[in-house]
Amino acid sequence: QVQLVESGGGSVQTGGSLRLSCAASDTTYSVGSMGWFRQAPGKEREGVASIRRDGATTYADSVKGRFVISRDKSRNTLYLQMNSLKPEDTAMYYCAAASSEVWYGQLRPTSYKYWGQGTQVTVSS
């Protein structure tokens, strides 16, 4: 069983930056693709970014050019660098991991098996 723990959330003003981290408890041999998702109150969970073990990335259109996903396999850690934050980025952010590589539907929540508890990001105008 893979456990994921997110950190790095907080409150920032529009245009600010935050870096989220997600520590995986198990070895990366048990984990394929990983991703970041977010869910705002009253809205469905949506995919933000994903990354495969080979480094290939996928981003939601709403964050392209502003967010960067990366993973440090030696530290079993996933990151999300968020720049030029907007109020509409306000949400609970979740880290997710799949048991194998995700080749289709990289930003679909149903493609991922393991989930963290989430970290809140609030962007004020």
pLDDT of residue 44: 97
Q: Which residues contact 58 (CB under 8 A, 6 or more apart)?
A: 47, 49, 50, 51, 106, 107
pLDDT of residue 89: 98
For the stretch 8-41, pLDDT in tens is 999 999 999 999 999 998 655 678 899 999 999 9
pLDDT of residue 74: 77
- Could you say which residues of the chain have pLDDT below 50? none
Nearest 5°: phi and psi at 110?
-70, -10
pLDDT of residue 73: 77
pLDDT of residue 52: 94
